[in-house]
Structure 1
Amino acid sequence: MTTTTSFAARATQVAARATDLSKVYGQGETQVVALDHVSVDFGQGEFTAIMGPSGSGKSTLMHCVAGLDSFSGGSVRIGDTELSTLKDKQLTKLRRDKIGFIFQAFNLLPTLTALENITLPMDIAGRKPNKQWLEQVISMVGLAGRLSHRPTELSGGQQQRVAVARALASQPEIIFGDEPTGNLDSRSGAEVLGFLRNSVRELGQTVVMVTHDPVAASYADRVIFLADGRIVDEMLQPTADGVLDRMKHFDAKGRTS
């Protein structure tokens, strides 16, 4: 495995940690091992991209760490909270209070304005947003002039800006993005990635993003590569060309040459 100094060792505090994490679907001959004893830390205030071939387990890893999917073995912690000890209602509260999500589909409610979509998770929780923080987030993603618009009145890039602002607005401990620029053109995608990069640099946010795009991965501080349900490589301070070159060297067994 080709790595430099362990990223986990450099991180002063851990926002999320998976230890010996396994995820198995089915039984017997139909059994599929999606995650095979994965251990990884995501440091606070860092931007991590997860990459790998189709079926490598990258989305499964993110979904398990984010509390969106159950796991078969091992442990996941968000901050000091062990996910396996939580009941459904506690897990729902954890996701609402401590985690932000950005998906490929924008997942905005068409009847609400941009501002109402941004504050919706806090409205559901009965919490008032921090006004100063909210204004800072809205300013960062460039939505100040679009807050009264509904999703149908916004471009795809603007809708994803709303989704980014919604994820940031509640000041979560960690944000997970699943192909967040997958439905956007290159210019809009670059804008959204820039906002995520700035949220880490300027707001101290922690971001974990699944992507297949080397250009998107180049916005991260670190890229981890999965193959066959295992972490097989890591790159710090990635470039698009470096990530692309590393991806080309994966063989069918998920090793690098």
Structure 2
Amino acid sequence: MTLANATATTTGAKVSAARVEGLTKVYGSGETRVVALDDVSLDLYAGEFTAIMGKSGSGKSTLMHCAAGLDDATAGHVWLGDVDLTTLKEKHLTELRRDRIGFVFQAFNLVPTLTAEENIALPAAIAGRAPDQAWFDEVVDTVGLRDRLGHRPSELSGGQQQRVACARALVGRPDIVFADEPTGNLDSTSGAEVLGFLRRVVDTHGQTVVMVTHDPGAASWTDRVVFLADGHVVDELRDPTPERVLERMAALDSHVGA
């Protein structure tokens, strides 16, 4: 079973689940004007786990928010498969985010009064649909929380709560999952549980995952690391290890500071 969407577009030998073209994002005006992204073009390939890294203020979270349709572009285009998000009215953009994009955030964002099972099923419930039970069961087994489904968030560890959040993001079979610092609130053991789960859904289900992180160790779980600095994509790294990520970051810091 694969989650790769048939409408994704082909770039060379790879298929783009999402891409940005000439993406510029400006906040404020006059003396307070800040260019968060400056003419960025980037393909996010289907069936891959991609990390986006950079110093605070580099534009990495802004890039994710624009690519996910959570923030408007000042200029340029954002594509999900063959759909240009920059042309959509708010109603259609809301429907696209609900039906085709999954989100995982640092703060878990679980509903405290609901059980783990109810939290995972929440997107389908909001959309007025019953979840696909076979796929729901497969996601639950992949996340490894079958015996915790009846527990509320307060009865789960941080790692378990984040795995519930990951399962919630996946249960609607999204084209792409965006994860913003998903291990930022976790200890190393719990963080490894979550990263291992994301790695498995890419490897076994063809899911596309894009993760913003500052952690070289977290980035080493991915297939590709994209580096941002001052609102530009400045480098990328395939088959990363923590050591190679650290070396590349140090080299980039030296170049930027020169």
Which range, TM-score by smaller chain? over 0.9
Name the SS for the 1:251 alignment partner: helix
Q: Which amino acid aligns with 1:175?
A: V
Matches within 5 A, 1:28-43: 28-43=30-45
Unaligned 5+ segments in structure 2 are 1-9
* Aligned equivalents of 2:153, 2:144: Cα separation in 1: 15
Q: Which amino acid aligns with 1:208?
A: V
Q: Could you tell me whether the CA contact under 8 Å between 1:114 and 1:150 is conserved in 2?
A: yes
Per the alignment, residue 178 of structure 1 pairs with 180
Per the alignment, residue 116 of structure 1 pairs with 118
Per the alignment, residue 60 of structure 1 pairs with 62
Per the alignment, residue 193 of structure 2 pairs with 191
Q: Which amino acid aligns with 1:45?
A: G
Larger deviation: 103-112 or 121-130?
Answer: 121-130
**Match of residue 138, structure 1, among 140, 149, 160:** 140
Q: Which amino acid aligns with 1:224?
A: V
Q: Deviations over 1:76-109 (max 9, x none)?
A: 0111111111111111111100000000000000
* Aligned equivalents of 2:222, 2:110: Cα separation in 1: 26
Q: Which amino acid aligns with 2:189?
A: R
Per the alignment, residue 87 of structure 1 pairs with 89
Q: What's the offset of the Cα at 1:254?
A: 3.8
RMSD across aligned positions (CA): 1.5
4+ residue stretches of structure 1 with deviation over 3 A? 8-11, 251-255
Larger deviation: 211-220 or 82-91?
Answer: 82-91
Name the SS for the 2:145 alignment partner: coil
Unaligned 5+ segments in structure 1 are 1-7
**Match of residue 252, structure 2, among 245, 250, 253:** 250
Per the alignment, residue 51 of structure 2 pairs with 49
Per the alignment, residue 22 of structure 2 pairs with 20
Q: Which amino acid aligns with 1:107?
A: N
Q: What's the offset of the Cα at 1:131?
A: 1.4
Larger deviation: 9-18 or 158-167?
Answer: 9-18
* Aligned equivalents of 1:11, 1:124: Cα separation in 2: 38
Q: Could you tell me whether the CA contact under 8 Å between 1:15 and 1:43 is conserved in 2?
A: yes
Q: Could you tell me whether the CA contact under 8 Å between 1:11 and 1:43 is conserved in 2?
A: no
Q: Could you tell me whether the CA contact under 8 Å between 1:55 and 1:228 is conserved in 2?
A: yes
Q: What's the offset of the Cα at 1:127?
A: 1.6
Name the SS for the 1:250 alignment partner: helix
Q: Deviations over 1:53-80 (max 9, x none)?
A: 1100000000000001111000001111
Q: What's the offset of the Cα at 1:186?
A: 0.1
* Aligned equivalents of 2:113, 2:75: Cα separation in 1: 41
Per the alignment, residue 4 of structure 1 pairs with none
Larger deviation: 16-25 or 244-253?
Answer: 244-253
**Match of residue 224, structure 1, among 204, 226, 240:** 226
